[in-house]
A = this chain, B = another copy of it.
Amino acid sequence: MSVFTTVSSDDLAPFLKRYSLGQLVDIKGIAAGVTNTNYFVTTTHGKYVLTLFETLRADELPYYVNLMVHLGQHGIAIAAPIANLSGEYIDELNGKPTLLVPCLPGAVTDSPNAAQCAQVGEMLAQMHLAAASYSGQMANPRGPQWWSATAHDMYPFMGEAEAALLHAEVQLQSQHKFDQLPRGVIHADLFRDNALMNGDLVGGFIDFYYACNDILLYDLAITLNDWCVLPDGDIDAERAQAMLAGYQSVRPLTTDEVADWPIMLRAAALRFWVSRLLDFHKPAAGEMTFAKDPGHFQRVIEHHKQRSDFWLS
C-alpha cells in the first residue's frame, strides 16, 4: 500500500483550518500508487484527495501543480488543485509537501471500450491544445538519452535474443529524429490506471508527475499502446481507430506525424520496456514497486514491427 507517511485526524484538523473546505469528517489511506502518500479526506463540504509528496521536493512541484491549475481553468477533466487561505497550492504536513484536490467522479477501467478510447483520445487532444498557453518548461527525464543508457545496463540481465532486439530498437530510434513534429506539454504516462472513467466519459486524468515538454505524438502513442492493447501485446483495431478519431476530431495529425506514427508507437513502447526492465532487475532500494512484466512491451514492439495497418485511414 502507499501510505509512507502516516497522517492522523489530529494532524489533519489544524491543517484543514488553512483551507476553505469545512470540518474534517473522515480520513482514509489510499492503497494505489507507488511513490506518494495519498489519503481520501472527507469534510463537511465533500470528498478530497490529499497527497504527501515523498520524493519530489517542494521546489520541483510548481511545474506539475501549476500545470494542473492551468488545465483545470480550461475545463480539462482533471482534479484541479485547491489553494489554501494564503493562496498557495502547495502546503506542508508532517514534514512533506502536500496537495489537496477534489475527488473526481468515476473509476479506473481495465477493459475500456471503443467509446471510452474515443473520449480519452479527444480529451488528450484538448489537453494538448489547452496546455499550449502554459509557460512552464520541463525536459523529459525518460527520453532517448535515458533509455539508451538504461538499456545498456540491462543487457547483462537479459537473454541474448531479447538483448539483441532491445539493442536494435535503441539503435533504430537513435537514427530517427522527430524534429518536425509538434511539441508541447505531454502527460507522458496516460495509462488506464491514470484516468478515471465516468461511464464513457473521462472523469479525470490523474498523476501528472511525469508530465514534461516533449512531442505530442509521443503522448498519443504511449496512451494508445496501453488503452488499446490486447493481452498478447497486439493492438485492438477498433479501439485504436476510435482513439485516433477522437484525438483527430480536435487536433488532426500533420503529414509529418502520420509518416512518423509507426515508429513513434515503437518509441513509446521502448520507453516502458526499458523502465520495466529497470524496475524488474534493479529495483530501487526500499522502493515499493509492483514489478510489472517487462516482456509485455517487447511483445507490443514485435506486433508493431509486423503491422501494416496503423488505423489512420
Contact = CB atoms under 8 A, between A and B. Distances in A.
A77 interface: yes
Interface string A103-139: 0000000000000000100110011011011000000
A278 interface: no
Nearest to A203: B46
B75 A130 contact: no
B20 A76 contact: yes
B122 A22 contact: yes
Nearest to A84: B74
A85 interface: yes
A201 interface: yes
A201 B46 contact: yes
Contacts of A21: 75, 126
A60 B127 CA distance: 30
A69 B73 contact: yes
A19 B126 CA distance: 8
Nearest to A119: B44
A55 to B, nearest CB: 26
A102 interface: yes
Contact of A74 (B19, B22, B73): B19
Nearest to A128: B20
A237 to B, nearest CB: 22
Contact of A20 (B85, B102, B119, B130): B130
A84 B45 CA distance: 28
A133 B86 contact: yes
Contact of A45 (B73, B83, B87, B202): B202
B249 A23 contact: yes
A34 interface: no
Contact of A83 (B74, B84, B132): B74
Interface string A278-312: 00000000000000000000000000000000000
B102 A75 contact: yes
B73 A130 contact: no
A253 interface: no
A5 to B, nearest CB: 22
A82 interface: yes
Interface string A4-45: 000000000000000111110000000000000000000011
Nearest to A134: B87
B69 A19 contact: no
Contact of A82 (B20, B75, B83, B133): B75
7 interchain residue pairs of minimum CB distance: A20-B126, A75-B82, A20-B130, A73-B83, A20-B74, A87-B133, A74-B83
Given A22-B126, A45-B201, A85-B129, 13 more contacts: A20-B76, A20-B129, A21-B75, A21-B126, A23-B249, A44-B119, A45-B75, A46-B201, A48-B75, A73-B87, A74-B85, A75-B83, A85-B130
